[in-house]
Structure 1
Amino acid sequence: MEVSDMERKKRNHNEGSIRERADGRFEIRVTAGYDFEIGKPKRISYYAKTKAEAIQKLHEEEYKIHFQKHVDPTSTTFLDWLRLWLETYMKNKVKQSTYVSYRGYIENHLAPAFPTLKLKDLTTKLLQDFYNYKQNTQGLSPKTILNLHRCLHKAMNQAVLEHYIDFNPCDAVSLPRNEKPQVEILTREEQQKLTYTSYKYRYGIFIRLTLATGIRLGELLGLRWEDVDFNKRMLSIRRTINRLPKVDYNGVGNSTEIVIQEPKTKNSIRSIPLIPNIASELQQWKNVQQNDAMTSSAAYQDSGFLVTNPFGGYLEPRTFKDAYDEILKASGLGHYTFHALRHTFATRAMEQGMDAKTTSILLGHSSVSFTLDTYTHVLDSQKQEEMKVMEEFFTLPDMPQVQSYAIAVTPMANGFLLNPVDFEDMSIEANDLQYGIQCLQTAIAQKLATMYPPTPTPVNEIVLQQGEFVVIVNL
């Protein structure tokens, strides 16, 4: 087979080659990365039926490999850098749920807006306009914009560290104010109805367990019997079960899979005390599982999980939500998400006087401030009750409707000197006595508007000099 000059040039540079095999197929060989085990470049082969297909495949693979090996700050697009960053720096670092979120931000929001923008050309102003557009035109929530921004900030920070750009354009962006989380809770009456109805259903124990602990759905479904210490009546949160988009070599596909993993934060790994009756009901649930094992016989597989189907397998979130919705409907209540049970636990705990620090730890929150901000509705009512202890300090005796104050009057050659007995520094001189009294009356009234009225000095206790007399004014 003849080899073109272009193909020979590629082979000479050890970037890729095409050769026809004896069986008529075409073999495409490319250098893909580095084999650290043998200390040499890694060679990968692909096969095609025709030469045209082989050339197209060679170009596709060389583009991928070139993109993975080289980042040219002058020509690399913003979108290519984001994809490279995600696959190279994040895929093996973050949990699958976080990876899926990051990829969603990139492909669903950033890719359509910046398909050809060069990495070097991204500016703070352009990014600010993009966030404004997302919020004002597309109606993206402040929380989603904030999460998108955090993802982008990490990617651009890596570009700064590798000197592809001089500074991170995300640093100077003005973000929308994040909305307070919408807290959906059951009233005490609704909680009582749901609890009562839950006793009629197979999975009702786990509704009650959630109302008594505030655990998340994924945490509930991830519980194993080894996480329950009946002697200490403690429940340990160590893992979660969630259904997430499946991640393969090419990224995120359309299929999903059940993922069992550790909680996403260290704070979420925690221990929660169990109240006695809930601990007792969990022990009774073991009898249900034993009965399932006897009924299902060989079909039963002991998975070790608390929440199991009649065959011993774990339940995935969608299945459990269906069971929860059935119990909710039977309770005669409106629609409440399962997460509302978590909010209800936190609300009841704080209403009963549990301090914010303890509540925060039990919920697995990142900080006490987050807990306080989330459950402001509880704190407002508590603050009103707590402030009542201050009332006695500001409960003053009833004040008389009319107060009478004495003015000592000293006759002078050209008028009178008037001195209010109970108000210092208010003496005045007046040619006309009546006018002077009116002026003092006004001045004393203004003074009383800013202070608690002093007790009037009895007239018989006022010491007068020769020629002086007393005038009484009523206020």
Structure 2
Amino acid sequence: MARRLNGEGTIRQRKDGLYEVRITSKPDPATGKKQRISRYAKTREQALKIRSELQLQYSGDAAAPTSLTLGEWLPHWLELYARPSVRHSTYVSYEGYVRKHLVPALGAVPLDKLVPADLQRFYLRKLQEDRLAPKTISNLHACLHRALQQAVKEQMIPSNPCDAVDLPRKEAAEISVLTREQQVKLMQESCRHRYGVFIRLALSTGMRIGEIVGLRWDDIDFTNRILFVRSTLNRLPTVDGESKTQLFVGSPKTKNGRRSIPLFDAIISDLADWRKTQEADAQLAQSAYENTGYVVTNEFGKPIEPRTFRDHYIRILKAAGLPHFTFHALRHTFATRAIEQGMDVKALSKILGHANVGFTLDTYAHLLDDHKRESMMLMQELYPQPATQKPEGKLIYLPFTARNIAKE
């Protein structure tokens, strides 16, 4: 039986299996009459989305605080607030958290009855029984906090229960880095492969895989030797609950991710040679070639998606006789070599696209400790050294003043 939400219409399942969404519009200012609108959906999830859209379009009535459960509020929040305001990849993550975790476990709880203890037990179950990583639970919590904060703004609930929850402690992620010898092997082997130039590009710039495959020729200034990171190419799951994915062109996840990276001559030369490879591909493919403007392309000019590019990388890695390293390890390797070579940490942070220098310092603290130790050794020549000995054989240390220590 359909449950009527105050001012938000109803959802009912028909005998043929379809879900019917009904909503009554607010009175027309000219005639004073209301209009009844009906829409149909194959699943209840789709019906909830349609109801949210219809409410936004036709209804001026706000839902009463006690009329909504968490399972009814979250899909409404996703469509009305999250989708227009967050990156597509973030929306996909939010939709998955809502559909797979939040609604099945807490969907029946009324918004105004949800308390911190409910969430604390929920997160504990996810950690211990479902074996979710603390990082995943933290992301799930961020999604729920954002949804409930909107409910607070609309005075549906007095406060956000997420504020009183203690999250599981996140373990520091281990950073995998190639040694200098391994890096040399990989770079040498990369010269024998079609897409090897982009392995060298990653090791020389710290770019992420999505940033590399999303690179376009317009993003490279050959005259001034600068590369601009402006977009990413990723394969993301769809939001219909099915195991389908789609390629999506987006922007870097933070404003700092949109950055410029100076290139040295060897990289410029590599990229110029690759452009000639693309020109040769176009001549061979003739009309079958598609000039998409992407830098990383197959023999027909079409962009390479991250999964396919990762497969090429793994083959190069194996051909070099190296153990498995994730592609992200190349980014860490670049940062490690930069620190070892004495690059300024602030400059490194900008090149990597980190939100702030503090994040760079935290991520590579162990490397910076070694670098600090080496730097401190340069100061030791300024420190007073053991100089003379007393006749009885005891050491006398020169003080910071010009006079010697008086005899005892």
What range describes the TM-score normalised by the shorter chain of this pair?
A: 0.7 to 0.9
1:203 aligned partner? 195
Larger radius of gyration: 1
Pair 1:376 & 2:365 matched: yes
> Which secondary structure does the structure 2 equivalent of 1:241 belong to?
strand
2:90 aligned partner? 98
> Which secondary structure does the structure 2 equivalent of 1:106 belong to?
helix
1:75 aligned partner? 67
Whole-angstrom CA distance in 1 between matches of 2:391 and 2:346: 50
Pair 1:132 & 2:124 matched: yes
Pair 1:113 & 2:113 matched: no
Q: Please report how far the alpha carbon of residue 369 of structure 1 lies from its aligned counterpart in structure 2 after TM superposition.
A: 0.8
Kindly tell me: are residues 42 and 238 of structure 1, through their superposed partners in 2, closer, same or farther at Cα, counting changes over 3 Å? farther
Pair 1:275 & 2:264 matched: yes
Whole-angstrom CA distance in 2 between matches of 1:264 and 1:177: 24
1:226 aligned partner? 218
Whole-angstrom CA distance in 1 between matches of 2:65 and 2:230: 43
1:445 aligned partner? none
Q: Please report how far the alpha carbon of residue 173 of structure 1 lies from its aligned counterpart in structure 2 after TM superposition.
A: 1.8
1:358 aligned partner? 347
> Which secondary structure does the structure 1 equivalent of 2:300 belong to?
coil
2:386 to 392, 396, 407: 396
**Aligned partner letter, 1:288:** T
Pair 1:291 & 2:280 matched: yes
Segments of structure 2 that go 5 or more residues without pairing to the other structure are: 11-19, 395-403
Q: Please report how far the alpha carbon of residue 44 of structure 1 lies from its aligned counterpart in structure 2 after TM superposition.
A: 4.6
Deviates more, 1:173-182 or 1:85-94: 173-182
Whole-angstrom CA distance in 2 between matches of 1:374 and 1:95: 24
1:184 aligned partner? 176
Segments of structure 1 that go 5 or more residues without pairing to the other structure are: 1-9, 17-27, 405-452, 458-475
1:308 to 297, 307, 311: 297
**Aligned partner letter, 2:196:** G
> Which secondary structure does the structure 2 equivalent of 1:286 belong to?
helix
Q: Please report how far the alpha carbon of residue 63 of structure 1 lies from its aligned counterpart in structure 2 after TM superposition.
A: 10
TM-score (normalised: structure 1): 0.72
Q: Please report how far the alpha carbon of residue 252 of structure 1 lies from its aligned counterpart in structure 2 after TM superposition.
A: 4.5
1:436 aligned partner? none
CA offsets 1:414-436 (integer angstroms, 9 cap, x no match): xxxxxxxxxxxxxxxxxxxxxxx
Q: Please report how far the alpha carbon of residue 89 of structure 1 lies from its aligned counterpart in structure 2 after TM superposition.
A: 0.5
Please list, as runs of the form range in 1=range in 2, the aligned pairs for 1:407-446 lying within 5 A after superposition.
none
Whole-angstrom CA distance in 1 between matches of 2:385 and 2:89: 57
Kindly tell me: are residues 138 and 31 of structure 1, through their superposed partners in 2, closer, same or farther at Cα, counting changes over 3 Å? closer
> Which secondary structure does the structure 2 equivalent of 1:259 belong to?
strand
Q: Please report how far the alpha carbon of residue 259 of structure 1 lies from its aligned counterpart in structure 2 after TM superposition.
A: 0.5
Whole-angstrom CA distance in 1 between matches of 2:119 and 2:21: 41
2:407 to 443, 447, 456: 456
Whole-angstrom CA distance in 1 between matches of 2:387 and 2:54: 83
**Aligned partner letter, 2:378:** V
CA offsets 1:216-271 (integer angstroms, 9 cap, x no match): 11110111111111110000111110111124xxx454321111122221111111
Please list, as runs of the form range in 1=range in 2, the aligned pairs for 1:43-62 lying within 5 A after superposition.
44=37
Report the identity percentage: 48
1:322 to 301, 308, 311: 311
> Which secondary structure does the structure 2 equivalent of 1:279 belong to?
helix
Q: Please report how far the alpha carbon of residue 379 of structure 1 lies from its aligned counterpart in structure 2 after TM superposition.
A: 0.6
Choose between structure 1 and 2 for higher RCO, CA contacts under 8 A separated by at least 6 residues. Answer: 2
Whole-angstrom CA distance in 1 between matches of 2:48 and 2:376: 70
**Aligned partner letter, 1:138:** D
Number of residue equivalences:
379
CA offsets 1:423-466 (integer angstroms, 9 cap, x no match): xxxxxxxxxxxxxxxxxxxxxxxxxxxxxx95426xxxxxxxxx
Pair 1:342 & 2:342 matched: no
Kindly tell me: are residues 302 and 67 of structure 1, through their superposed partners in 2, closer, same or farther at Cα, counting changes over 3 Å? closer
Whole-angstrom CA distance in 1 between matches of 2:8 and 2:154: 26
CA offsets 1:316-351 (integer angstroms, 9 cap, x no match): 111111111110110000001111111111111111
Q: Please report how far the alpha carbon of residue 283 of structure 1 lies from its aligned counterpart in structure 2 after TM superposition.
A: 0.6
Whole-angstrom CA distance in 2 between matches of 1:62 and 1:105: 16
2:321 aligned partner? 332
Please list, as runs of the form range in 1=range in 2, the aligned pairs for 1:23-62 lying within 5 A after superposition.
30-31=22-23, 44=37
Residues 224 and 306 of structure 1 are in contact (CA less than 8 Å); yes or no, is this contact kept in structure 2? yes
Residues 23 and 38 of structure 2 are in contact (CA less than 8 Å); yes or no, is this contact kept in structure 1? no
CA offsets 1:90-147 (integer angstroms, 9 cap, x no match): 1121111101111122222222321311111111222223223333443322222221
**Aligned partner letter, 1:199:** C
**Aligned partner letter, 2:321:** G
C-alpha RMSD of the superposition: 3.6
Whole-angstrom CA distance in 2 between matches of 1:42 and 1:90: 28
Whole-angstrom CA distance in 1 between matches of 2:248 and 2:53: 33
Kindly tell me: are residues 265 and 41 of structure 1, through their superposed partners in 2, closer, same or farther at Cα, counting changes over 3 Å? farther
Deviates more, 1:131-140 or 1:358-367: 131-140
> Which secondary structure does the structure 1 equivalent of 2:386 belong to?
coil
> Which secondary structure does the structure 1 equivalent of 2:162 belong to?
coil
1:407 aligned partner? none
> Which secondary structure does the structure 1 equivalent of 2:246 belong to?
strand
**Aligned partner letter, 2:353:** G
Q: Please report how far the alpha carbon of residue 391 of structure 1 lies from its aligned counterpart in structure 2 after TM superposition.
A: 3.2
**Aligned partner letter, 2:213:** L
Whole-angstrom CA distance in 2 between matches of 1:238 and 1:14: 41
Whole-angstrom CA distance in 2 between matches of 1:180 and 1:330: 31
Residues 210 and 232 of structure 2 are in contact (CA less than 8 Å); yes or no, is this contact kept in structure 1? yes
Residues 32 and 65 of structure 1 are in contact (CA less than 8 Å); yes or no, is this contact kept in structure 2? no
